[in-house]
């Protein structure tokens, strides 16, 4: 992971992770949607490059991704109306994230398989990071780990009858979310810097 990618993680976290509710269930739904959008967007970009004018690429891909968001929202409404109501406007946040992460602005010259592998590996790395983020917020904030079910969310209690303080629940709030992901990014960049130092000293 290069330094550039770490900086885009800051932008993407601000766009998608911070505004969402702090439960693992909602994070799971949004990450599934992000992966589907990147997959569909990559395939559609290849189609647009082959059959339409280059100028129309961004417009067509955007319209397609927004249509998929609407479709996905209706599927979630059928499965669990409470989750759809809570997430509301957040269904449209992964569109911007998928544009930046999948690099869908630029034309691609590589074959479809290479594009798919590159984009899906990037999105899986981001999904892992986001799931850790949501899990920390859920476990330390509410003491539970939640999953989406048709009646809403099913919360599995992890900490029972603890008389601990309200420090943990701060991380479930929005400023707490910003501080949490800043700490995670700092940890990653510190680890990367040390790994680089080790790698360059081994070369010498």
Partner 1 sequence: MLQNLFYYLIYSSVVLVYGIGIERAGALSKKQNRLFIKAIKMLICVTSTTSLSYLFVKGLLVPAGYADLYPFFTILIFISISVFVETIIRITSKVSANEFGTSLLFIFISLSEGLSLADSVLISCICVLSLFATIPIIYSIHYRLDLNAFKKESDKTSYVLISLAIIMLILLFWNNTWLNMGAYK
Task: Name which of residues 184 to 203 contact partner 1 (CB under 8 A).
Answer: 185-186, 189
- Examine residue 14 and tell whether it contacts partner 1 (CB under 8 A): yes
- As a whole number of angstroms, the distance between CA 17 and CA 14 comes to 6
Nearest to 27 by CA among 168, 180, 161: 180
Question: How many residues of this chain interact with partner 1, rule: CB under 8 A?
Answer: 50
The alpha helices in the chain, defined as continuous H runs, are: 3-12, 24-51, 57-79, 81-87, 93-102, 112-142, 167-170, 174-203
Phi first, then psi: give them for residue 122, nearest 5 degrees: -65, -40
- Examine residue 121 and tell whether it contacts partner 1 (CB under 8 A): no
Question: Taking contact as CB under 8 A, which single stretch among the options 23-31, 41-49, 91-99, 120-128 is the one that binds partner 1?
Answer: 91-99
Minimum gap (Å) between residue 58 Cβ and partner 1: 8
154, 147 contact by CB (below 8 A): yes
Binding residues vs partner 1 (CB under 8 A): 3, 7, 10-11, 14-15, 18-19, 59, 62-63, 66-67, 69-70, 73-74, 88-89, 92-93, 95-96, 99, 141-144, 155, 157, 159, 161-164, 166, 168-170, 172-176, 178-179, 182, 185-186, 189
């Amino acid at each position: 992971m290069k330094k550039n990618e770490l900086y885009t993680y800051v932008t993407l976290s601000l766009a998608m992770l911070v505004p969402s509710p702090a439960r693992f269930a909602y994070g799971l739904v949004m990450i599934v949607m992000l992966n589907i959008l990147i997959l569909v967007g990559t395939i559609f970009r290849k189609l647009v490059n082959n059959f339409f004018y280059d100028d129309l690429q961004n417009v067509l891909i955007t319209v397609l991704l927004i249509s998929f968001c609407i479709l996905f929202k209706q599927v979630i409404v059928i499965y669990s109306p409470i989750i759809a109501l809570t997430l509301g406007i957040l269904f449209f946040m992964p569109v911007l994230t998928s544009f930046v992460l999948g690099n869908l602005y630029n034309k691609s010259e590589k074959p479809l398989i290479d594009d798919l592998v590159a984009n899906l590996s990037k999105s899986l790395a981001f999904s892992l990071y986001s799931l850790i983020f949501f899990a920390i917020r859920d476990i330390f904030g509410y003491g539970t780990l939640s999953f989406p079910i048709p009646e809403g969310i099913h919360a599995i209690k992890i900490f029972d009858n603890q008389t601990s303080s309200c420090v943990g629940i701060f991380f479930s709030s929005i400023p707490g979310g910003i501080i949490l992901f800043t700490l995670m990014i700092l940890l990653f960049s510190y680890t990367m810097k040390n790994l680089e130092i080790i790698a360059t000293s081994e070369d010498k």
